[in-house]
């Protein structure tokens, strides 16, 4: 039984082994690591679901994704450098444009 204030969830052996080895790398517990990963995913997903309808892909050019941001009414470039995405408009690795690109299957396999 989980401790008070916690709930348990079932994952496949395969997922469990991955979480276990990442938690070991990060020197944290499996519960703490899984909670952190799920929390940050849910936050990014929530942010994205509000904003995603306002962004569309214009083109893929070399290491860049060209986006049209309808809220800003401008073109925004997100580029890949050393396996990390950065936004030229926001000069950020954590803005909605980067989050949007991270969700694209064409981009996901190039990003760590």
Least separation in angstroms between residue 90's CB and Zn ion is: 3
Burial class (CB in 10 A: 0-12, 13-18, 19+), 65: buried
Site string for Zn ion, 28-67 (x = CB under 5 A): ----------------------------------------
Region near Zn ion per CB under 5 A, out of 4-12, 22-30, 45-53, 83-91: 83-91
85, with CB counted inside 10 A (0-12, 13-18, 19+), is: buried
Give the one residue of 19, 31, 90, 102 binding Zn ion; rule: CB under 5 A. 90
Binding site for Zn ion (CB under 5 A): 87, 89-90, 95, 97
């Amino acid at each position: 039984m989980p401790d008070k204030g916690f709930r348990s969830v079932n994952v496949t052996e395969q997922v469990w082994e991955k979480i276990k080895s990442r938690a070991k790398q990060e020197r944290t517990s499996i519960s703490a690591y899984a909670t952190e990963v799920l929390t940050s995913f849910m936050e990014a997903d929530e942010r994205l679901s509000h904003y995603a309808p306002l962004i569309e892909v214009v083109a893929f050019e070399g290491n860049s994704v060209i986006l049209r941001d309808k809220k800003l009414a401008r073109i925004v470039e997100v580029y890949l450098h050393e396996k990390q995405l950065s936004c030229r408009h926001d000069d950020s690795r954590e803005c909605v444009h980067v989050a949007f690109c991270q969700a694209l299957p064409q981009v996901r396999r190039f990003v760590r």
